[in-house]
Amino acid sequence: MPALGSLARGAGRSELRRHRASFDRLPALALPLVLVVALAGCKSGRKPVAVLAAASLARAFAELEEIVERQHSGLDVQIEIGGSQQLCRKLVELGGKADVLAVADYRTIDNICRPGGQARFNIQFATNAIVLAHLEHSRFTAEVTEKSWPEILLRPGVRLGLVDPDLGPIGYRTLLVWQLAGRELGQPDLAGRLRARVAREHVAPHESELMQLLQTRAIDYAFVYRSTAEEHNLKLVKLPNSYNLGAPDRAADYRAASVQVKMRRDEPPKRVVGAPVIYGVTIPEKPTNPRGGEIFVRALLGETGRRVLARTGFSPLSPARCPERDRLPTALRALTR
C-alpha cells in the first residue's frame, strides 16, 4: 500500500507526522476496517482526544490540532482519517470510541450514527465543491476544459479513478456529478459510460488513496473536492455550479440525481439524493474525553477554525448550523444557529 507521504507534506506540521492511516478492505460483504498505525505514543502527561475525520479534512485538522495543543497543553489530539462511512461504521458496528467525528457529508451522521445511538446532534460547519483533477502526466492534459472533459475522459487509454461510493461521500458525489452533467449536456448515458471506464484497481477506499493513484501515475483523472486539489497543487477543471454540488442555491437542481449507497453492513442500500456538499461534526455518545472533544469542536466552529478552513480551501459556514441546538453543550450553542 502506498504511504501517505504526500498527504503529510500537504498537512505541514501535524499529527500526520506521528499517525498514518492504513485502510484495507476485507472480502466481499465484509465491513471495511480503518486501521491506524501509531508511530508514537501519547505525549507524556497529556490526555488523548480521539478525532475521526474525513480524509479531505486531513490538512485542516492537522493545523487545528497544533493550535488546540498549543492552547491546551494538557491535550494530545490524535487524528484518524478515512472515508466518512468507514468512520461511522467503526463507531456503530465495531464499537469504536471517539471524542469527535467529522464527516464530508453531514447526512452520514444522520444515516449511520444517529440510528446507531452514536449521535444526539449534528453540526453543519463547511461547504466545498467538486472539481476534476489531473496532472502533467495525464493523457490529453492540455486539452481538458470545462466543456471538453466528458469527451476526453471517454477517449481510449484514459484512466479514471473513483472512491468507492459505499465508503466515502466523494465516491457517490462523483456519480451524482456525472448524472447531473449528463442531464445538462444531453448525454443521459454519460454516468454509466464513465463508471464503466473505472477499472477495479482504480477504485480507492478514500480520497487520500485516490490522490496516491493520481500522483503515482496509476490514473489520469479523478473527481475530488476543490480543497483537496488545491492542497495537493493539482491541475483542476472547475465545473459549472449546475452540477459541481458546490452552490447551495442550486440544491433543487441537484435533487434530480440520486444513487444507491450501502451505508451499513446489515441494511440494504439507501437512496442518496443530490445535494450541496456540506460537512458535519458531532461528539459521539460516551466519548472517553468529552471535555477534549468539546474544546476541539469549539476551536473548529470559532474564528480560528473558520480561518483554517478558509485557508485550506473550504467555505466555512458562519455561524455553523445545528437543528438540535438544545442538545449541544452550552459552549457550542453560541457558535451555531
Please check whether residues 27 and 60 belong to one and the same domain: yes
Whether residues 246 and 295 share a domain: the answer is: no
Last residue of a domain, one of 273, 290, 322: 273
CA atoms within 13 A on the CB side of 268: 1
Strands 100-103 and 47-54: parallel
pLDDT of residue 41: 52
Nearest to 96 by CA among 83, 86, 108: 86
Q: For residues 43 and 74, what is the distance between their CA atoms, to the nearest angstrom?
A: 9
Same domain, 109 and 143: no
Question: Does residue 140 sit in the same domain as residue 241?
Answer: yes
The predicted pLDDT at position 11 comes to: 39
Q: Do 24 and 34 lie in a common domain?
A: yes
What pTM was computed for the model? Answer: 0.88
How far is the C-alpha of 298 from the C-alpha of 279, rounded, in Å? 15
Q: Of 226, 258, 273, which residue constitutes the final position of a domain?
A: 273
Tell me: do 247 and 144 sit in the same domain: yes
What CATH number is associated with residue 308? 3.40.190.10
Same domain, 183 and 260: yes
Q: What is the mean pLDDT of each run of 10 residues along the chain (337 residues)?
A: 34 36 32 37 81 97 98 97 96 96 98 94 98 98 98 98 98 98 97 98 97 98 97 96 98 98 91 98 96 98 98 96 95 95
Q: What is the dihedral of CA 8, 107, 173, 310, to 10 degrees?
A: -50
Is the Cβ–Cβ distance between 131 and 223 less than 8 Å?
Answer: yes
Q: Give pLDDT, residue 5.
A: 32
DSSP state of 111: I
Please provide the DSSP assignment of 136-167 as one string. Answer: TTSTTTTT--TTTHHHHHTSTT--B-EE-TTT
pLDDT at 45 (0 to 100): 84
Residues 210 and 283 occupy one common structural domain:
no
Q: Are residues 189 and 88 located together in one domain of the fold?
A: no
Among the candidates 273, 292, 311, a domain finishes at 273
Predicted local distance difference test score (pLDDT) of residue 265: 84
The total number of structural domains in the chain stands at 2
Residues 254 and 142 placed together within one structural domain of the fold? yes
- 203 lies in which domain range? 130-273
Regarding whether 319 and 209 lie in a shared domain, the answer is no
Task: Report pLDDT for 242.
Answer: 98
Tell which phi-psi region holds residue 46, choosing left (phi > 0), alpha (psi between -120 and 50) or beta. Answer: beta
pLDDT for 266 equals 83
Tell me, yes or no, whether 182 and 52 share the same domain: no
What's the confidence (pLDDT) of residue 44? 67
